[in-house]
Structure 1
Amino acid sequence: MSFNSIAEYEASRNALILADRALRADHKKGQLSELEALADKVVRDVRAAEAASIWSQDHEGIPHPFPGMEFLTGRSIIVQTKLFEILGKMPKGGLLHAHLDATVNVSFLLKTAMRYPAIHVRASTALNSTTIGSVLPQFLPLPQELRTSGEIALTDENYTPNTWVPLAKARETFDPKLGGPEGFDRWITASLTINPTEAYVTHNTVNKIWEKFVSTFVVNTPLVRYEPIHREYVREFILSSIADGISYVEPRINFLQKDIPFIAADAHTRIDHREVVKSFDEVVNNVKEELKEQGREDEFIGAKIIYSTIRSITPEGLEWYLQDCIALKKEFPHLIAGFDLVGPENVLKPLKYYIEPLLKFREMQKEAGVEIPFIFHAAETLGDGTEADMNLYDAILLGTKRIGHGFALVKHPKLIEICKERGIAIEVCPISNEILRLTSSMHMHPLPVLLNQGVTVALCSDDPSVFGSMGLTFDYFQVLAASEVTGLIQLGEMAKDSIKFSSMDPEEKERALAAWQKRWDIFLEYAATEGQKFLAQSQTTM
């Protein structure tokens, strides 16, 4: 190709760039308003200014800081940035991929559990400076007749292994040499979260980090599934989501009645799944009523549940859960949004293993007069042609409404085409993918490939309590900080798509989109004003 002038070359270059980016949501949007253009530019300038300033500084204990770096190491820097502060005010639409048991800050969970005398804790051996780093706490709500006085502390050398101690007593009597009550809190917190050393050193493979990841659920499940705590937990999840600009939530709840039941306040009676869903509904409605009284009803449109169970059960066992899901849908049609199978795809059963009952599920729904779409996890893997990677084919053939993670989708051009044709949105969980070792940083994440191919994406948090990434602001930050192409407009388009591709009915979506647009316009004003103030102050201090 030849050019007669620099101007002609520049024109061809600009045309090629536009053609290459034509499928992106922010480019498909068309002409920006004056306010949108200003806010987008200002936020880009803030990003560039902080990349050249705060991220180029020396930070103790962080040898290589850069925007979009590994989250657990860079988190302390992220929270210092103006960019993070601005994004914290952004209306983020819906949260479409989050596992309920890992959505609330662990400090809230621990403080809540402390208030219930039924909650007891034990350890497999006495805790000391040698054992504390490897022994996990075990929790259990005990009925009145089985509760103990807890005379011997977990840290007493005479502690009998696996002896239950009241939670508050265990904290109160924790050895001062191990930090006392604050040391107890650190021990519990470490068991419920993943720290940088675990993610990037000791467990730096997919299978190893999943072992640590799964262990956090083993520890927290007896707390979260204790009915009084569960109600407070759901409420806190909703309120903290609203505080982060999320107006709709669609959590996955693991229903495992046969193996890991919910327990009533008496710490003895099992609660069936109907009561769990009913309780969830009551909490949601209570929050909506409170917001309405405060004149804030447009801040929270509502919530639905994706019924999930673990892909370690047998196909025969799955049929019980499918029937259970149908029964719940019939009684709570406004709440049950879909069905999913969850768990580590690399080691548990693939979707193909369950084809017979999953195909039968369609006929079961027809007979029951309900409709429950599949919303499958698929290809949360580095595999290429493995069973986990092949889950994409089965998810699409089974008619999945959305795809959870879809990390390996970029390897499948035909499947990308199908997702676009059928309107299958991808629930992308950036921080989760990085911490669970699918990518080393946001710069290596395949998200830009999906955006550039015109695939619909909703940003999600997955398991924020485990990662210390509460809400969605951290995920939005990581995506924005790691790209020069992605700007505020692209983030806004993904937020809108999280509403459009949610399980809300058309009227709810219309209301949610109108409320989001109103808040978005206010946010654009804020982002432009705050960003300009910051840039002006930065200039005067240089």
Structure 2
Amino acid sequence: MSSSVPSAIEEYEASRKELIFADRAQRADHKKGQLSELEALADKVIREVRATEAASIWSREYEGIPHPFPGMEFLTGRSIIVQTKLFKILEKGCLPRITMPKGGLLHVHLDATVNVSFLLETAMKYPAMHVRASTALNATNIGHVLPEMSALPQHLRTAGEIALTDHDYIPDAWVPMLKARESFDPKLGGPDGFDRWITAALTINPTEAYVTHNTVTKIWQKFQSTFIVSAPLVRYQPIQRQYFREFILSSIADGISYVEPRINFLRDAIPFIAEDGQRQLTHREVLKDFEDVVGEVKAELKAKGREDDFITAKIIYSTIRFITPAELEWYLQDCIALKKEFPHLIAGFDLVGDENVLKPLTYYLEPLLKFREMQKEAGVSEIPFIFHGGETLGDGTEADMNLYDAILLGTKRIGHGFSLVKHPKLIELCKERGIAVEVCPISNEILRLTSSMHMHPLPVLLNQGVPVALCSDDPSVFGNMGLTFDYFQVLAASEITGLVQLGEMAKDSIKFSSMEPEEKAHALGAWQKRWEIFLEYAVVEGQKFLT
């Protein structure tokens, strides 16, 4: 009888292994087939590094962090993340080209792509830039009085004799930004205190994300306020050109070889301002500046023999869900006009904003259904919809139902798709029609859709074979610059996802991008070469750490 026990156990273990394999068969890393020896080794080593740090770095006690664990809330755990070997391997090696190649960044809002410190430093160089406050700043009110900034025309500029922190400051009086910084009350931190005041208005801190703004609605209010404060800086032409450049260069430094940002266009509400501080830029001028900066960066890289590090960039034309259907028709025509002049640059069209409180896609059905015919009449190549959809906790709410309409309207990809896992038929359609999901893990967590990466629905999408591109959404607000932090959070929080799965998502970000077929082929070839170099580096660095 005892001789049959091993046979029964072996049979059970074989059945168990078969069931696990069948359960994971739709994952991109399992469908990939036979791994190369190097891929298998790198994946194994990185898993060991992750396990070692889970038992060491993440098990320690940290002041002010009562419950550290891999995949924890990002803003609280960020200081630990950057200490890990796992993060350092994903971020960069001894040479920039050893950075993990992350493919394309397909979901990011251009007004929130550059580190706040760079934006402030750049703004200080321009005499046109002024700042004001609704009242004199002091220790009691500085935490809730927001700065208002603007590039003023010459005739409205001031000498700024009175500081923002003087008792005699007149509410809403403009002060040159440089002067306001230099004259900031030492009791409030002096120039550094000024920087902290501006930075606090442009970012979300851990207390706001996890304590005071404890609902989706509240945190969205804070989130939206950061764009109101930053817009006059980001959309001032001299700063904007440098902003474009820094976005592209910092993306390249993080291993990103293609970017497809969304630019929000609103005719009067959030204008782009020319260098004189007076004239409003046309949308054509904004795209021309972007095109010129992209061309300059590509030329510089080519001169250094690094042209494969950055393939190109395109723009998703976006506007906000509070406009009327009649107004949307104007924006659709504007998008078509820009496509005519910049056919290589306009990648698609989107409607953005808080889906939970703004208008659903059904509100705009009439103009949206006409869009394809409008394109034919204008004689332009296709401008696909690339819709935000399902960025919500709702089940059957208007925001959740946007997923149905996005797919019926022919969306090329889905932005966020957080609630997609509730809809088996829609998941099936995404796979059938090749609709990738732009998943923004850190954004979803900070905006209170999930409490940690362990609660995020991303594994459901991966396990069902839905193509996914990891994205950062609004990195300057969240502090997740580039893509390394998002890749880290996904890797650290799963025992199934390994380096091979990260590579498959990076490749999907190229395959499902808006690049032309020849550009995709070039990008994939360049990615594969860098991937092989990175795998070798990951093995060496990981093994050194483990021994």
Band the TM-score falls in, shorter-chain normalisation: over 0.9
Aligned to 1:18: 21
Q: CA deviation at 1:136?
A: 0.4
Aligned partner (choices 289, 296, 305) of residue 286 of structure 1: 296
Instruction: State the distance in 1 between where 2:53 and 2:27 align.
Output: 26
Q: Partner of 2:349: helix, strand, or coil?
A: strand
**Which amino acid is the alignment partner of residue 249 of structure 2?**
L
Instruction: State the distance in 2 between where 1:24 and 1:118 align.
Output: 53
- 1:297-333 Cα shifts (integer Å, max 9, x gaps): 0000010000000000000000110000000000000
Q: CA deviation at 1:259?
A: 2.0
- 1:497-532 Cα shifts (integer Å, max 9, x gaps): 000000000000000000000000000000000000
Aligned to 2:95: none
Aligned to 1:52: 55
> Does structure 2 conserve the Cα–Cα contact (< 8 Å) formed by 1:91 and 1:520?
yes
Q: Partner of 2:337: helix, strand, or coil?
A: helix
> Does structure 2 conserve the Cα–Cα contact (< 8 Å) formed by 1:99 and 1:253?
yes
Aligned to 2:517: 506
Aligned partner (choices 337, 350, 356) of residue 340 of structure 1: 350
For structure 2, which runs of at least 5 residues remain unmatched after alignment?
92-98
- 1:177-213 Cα shifts (integer Å, max 9, x gaps): 0000000000000000000000000001100000000
Aligned partner (choices 461, 481, 506) of residue 470 of structure 1: 481
> Does structure 2 conserve the Cα–Cα contact (< 8 Å) formed by 1:3 and 1:9?
no
Aligned to 1:539: none
Identity rate, percent? 82
**Which amino acid is the alignment partner of residue 57 of structure 2?**
I
Aligned to 2:452: 441
- 1:205-263 Cα shifts (integer Å, max 9, x gaps): 10000000000000000001100000000000000000000000000000112322110
Q: Is 1:413 matched with 2:430?
A: no
Instruction: State the distance in 2 between where 1:503 and 1:7 align.
Output: 49
- 1:442-471 Cα shifts (integer Å, max 9, x gaps): 000000000000000000000000001100
For structure 1, which runs of at least 5 residues remain unmatched after alignment?
537-542
Q: CA deviation at 1:362?
A: 1.1
Instruction: State the distance in 2 between where 1:58 and 1:314 align.
Output: 53
Q: Is 1:494 matched with 2:505?
A: yes
Q: Partner of 1:366: helix, strand, or coil?
A: helix
- 1:128-180 Cα shifts (integer Å, max 9, x gaps): 00010000000000011100000000000110000000000000000000000
Aligned partner (choices 75, 78, 81) of residue 78 of structure 2: 75
Aligned to 1:480: 491
Q: Partner of 1:248: helix, strand, or coil?
A: strand
- 1:261-307 Cα shifts (integer Å, max 9, x gaps): 11000000111000000110000000000000011000000100000
Instruction: State the distance in 1 between where 2:245 and 2:357 align.
Output: 33
Aligned to 2:35: 32
Aligned to 2:68: 65
Aligned partner (choices 455, 460, 463) of residue 452 of structure 1: 463
Structure 1 segment 89-100 matched on structure 2, within 5 A: 89-100=99-110
**Which amino acid is the alignment partner of residue 425 of structure 1?**
A
Aligned partner (choices 316, 319, 327) of residue 317 of structure 1: 327
Q: Is 1:398 matched with 2:401?
A: no
**Which amino acid is the alignment partner of residue 147 of structure 1?**
R
Instruction: State the distance in 1 between where 2:425 and 2:47 align.
Output: 34
> Does structure 2 conserve the Cα–Cα contact (< 8 Å) formed by 1:379 and 1:406?
yes
**Which amino acid is the alignment partner of residue 22 of structure 2?**
A
Instruction: State the distance in 1 between where 2:546 and 2:115 align.
Output: 33
Aligned partner (choices 105, 111, 126) of residue 121 of structure 2: 111
Instruction: State the distance in 1 between where 2:257 and 2:372 align.
Output: 31
Instruction: State the distance in 2 between where 1:115 and 1:296 align.
Output: 31
Number of aligned positions between the proteins: 535
Structure 1 segment 228-267 matched on structure 2, within 5 A: 228-267=238-277
> Does structure 2 conserve the Cα–Cα contact (< 8 Å) formed by 1:376 and 1:400?
yes
Instruction: State the distance in 1 between where 2:465 and 2:105 align.
Output: 21
Q: Partner of 2:438: helix, strand, or coil?
A: strand
Q: Partner of 1:73: helix, strand, or coil?
A: helix
Structure 1 segment 365-376 matched on structure 2, within 5 A: 365-370=375-380, 371-376=382-387
Instruction: State the distance in 1 between where 2:268 and 2:190 align.
Output: 38
Aligned to 2:221: 211
Q: Partner of 1:5: helix, strand, or coil?
A: helix
Instruction: State the distance in 1 between where 2:161 and 2:71 align.
Output: 49
Q: Is 1:193 matched with 2:196?
A: no
Instruction: State the distance in 1 between where 2:362 and 2:468 align.
Output: 25
Aligned partner (choices 315, 326, 345) of residue 305 of structure 1: 315
Instruction: State the distance in 1 between where 2:545 and 2:276 align.
Output: 54
Q: Is 1:149 matched with 2:159?
A: yes
Q: Is 1:518 matched with 2:529?
A: yes
Q: Partner of 1:358: helix, strand, or coil?
A: helix
Instruction: State the distance in 2 between where 1:258 and 1:329 align.
Output: 21
Aligned to 1:140: 150
Q: Partner of 2:414: helix, strand, or coil?
A: strand
Instruction: State the distance in 1 between where 2:177 and 2:465 align.
Output: 51
> Does structure 2 conserve the Cα–Cα contact (< 8 Å) formed by 1:26 and 1:490?
yes
Q: Partner of 1:258: helix, strand, or coil?
A: coil
Q: CA deviation at 1:45?
A: 0.2
TM value normalised by structure 2: 0.97
Instruction: State the distance in 1 between where 2:128 and 2:326 align.
Output: 36
Aligned partner (choices 113, 138, 157) of residue 128 of structure 1: 138
Aligned to 2:94: none
Instruction: State the distance in 2 between where 1:258 and 1:175 align.
Output: 35
Q: Partner of 1:489: helix, strand, or coil?
A: helix
- 1:412-432 Cα shifts (integer Å, max 9, x gaps): 000000000000000000000
Aligned partner (choices 43, 46, 56) of residue 46 of structure 2: 43
- 1:322-361 Cα shifts (integer Å, max 9, x gaps): 0000000000000000000000000000000000000011
What is the root-mean-square deviation in Å for CA atoms of aligned residues? 0.8
Instruction: State the distance in 2 between where 1:255 and 1:62 align.
Output: 40
Aligned to 2:433: 422
Instruction: State the distance in 2 between where 1:80 and 1:54 align.
Output: 8
Aligned to 1:172: 182
**Which amino acid is the alignment partner of residue 533 of structure 1?**
K
**Which amino acid is the alignment partner of residue 66 of structure 1?**
F
Aligned to 1:385: 396
